[in-house]
Structure 1
């Protein structure tokens, strides 16, 4: 009797892989969505590596949001001195890392019919979009089909 009722109950939350897409010329050194970490992303890269695992509702609910936190390196190709063993020079690394910025935003997750991967898009001007469906970027039904190399404005609007 217990076994039959346990099989009939459906979990309200699901485990979801986390994947990122960086549409900017900066590097995303690290990021998280609702506390679940994602892979680092070079400039204009993404979609390859997945991390595990975030949690999303099995069924979309109105007002569903995600908290995204990330660290950005605006000069990912900047030179950092290395010692004779190939390790970064600590002082030079600190000089470079002083330009990193940290960000946190809360964004809405659009409606989905079938829960899937948590996909995080990093856009110019520190804008972020998140989806949690099972549709891949490039599909006409996907809500965020941005080009990987987006034009970055000189000045970002408020």
Structure 2
């Protein structure tokens, strides 16, 4: 019985070493790096409450948050599955009853019922040098653009040139 158990332990140990060795070989071309997940809302009068990219979730509204993990080396077929929540009237609270009251809580519940949820999938554009994170740009009519650019948004080299202050049209056409 002891001999059987020791052989079983040895087999598990060898299997573990084999798995580690194979994992090392298979990830050599799939090295990953973490970067900031950033959002830019281009639509005036709205707020992005939160966004999620490939399961990495952050608060929206602009600014940077840690983190998203992406391949160090770009490859064809990289996609971003994006989900987000929009508050179509982010300044409504200024007209609500005082904070902490039943009236405030009722207004908040009614307001949250107007939040809009969206999903889309976009290709991640090719990057050459390094991963600087992922910036998600929210445009009118639920359009989304992404970039991995290391340039600041106001730099001439920054790839997304859309206006930062857009009005949502009455009717969106696809």
1:27–1:76: 8 Å Cα contact kept in structure 2?
yes
Give me the TM-score of the superposition, normalised by structure 1.
0.80
4+ long deviations beyond 6 Å: none
Say whether residues 1:76 and 2:96 are aligned partners: no
Shift of 1:155: 0.5
2:51–2:60: 8 Å Cα contact kept in structure 1?
yes
Q: Cα–Cα, structure 1 residues 88 and 121, in superposed 2: closer, same or farther, change >3 Å?
A: farther
**What residue is the counterpart of 1:119 in the other structure?**
135
Counterparts of 2:48 and 2:111 in 1: how far apart (Å)?
15
Consecutive unaligned residues of structure 1, counting only runs of 5 or more, are 1-5
Say whether residues 1:13 and 2:28 are aligned partners: no
Consecutive unaligned residues of structure 2, counting only runs of 5 or more, are 1-23
Higher share of residues assigned strand: 1
**What residue is the counterpart of 2:9 in the other structure?**
none
Offset from partner CA, 1:47-73 (integer Å, 9 cap, x none): xx3111111111111121101111101
Secondary structure of 2:107's aligned partner: helix
Shift of 1:90: 2.0
Shift of 1:84: 6.0
Say whether residues 1:28 and 2:39 are aligned partners: no
Counterparts of 1:60 and 1:88 in 2: how far apart (Å)?
52
Counterparts of 1:72 and 1:84 in 2: how far apart (Å)?
22
Higher share of residues assigned helix: 2
**What residue is the counterpart of 1:131 in the other structure?**
147
Counterparts of 1:19 and 1:135 in 2: how far apart (Å)?
13
Shift of 1:82: 3.8
How many residues were matched structurally? 145
1:19–1:39: 8 Å Cα contact kept in structure 2?
no
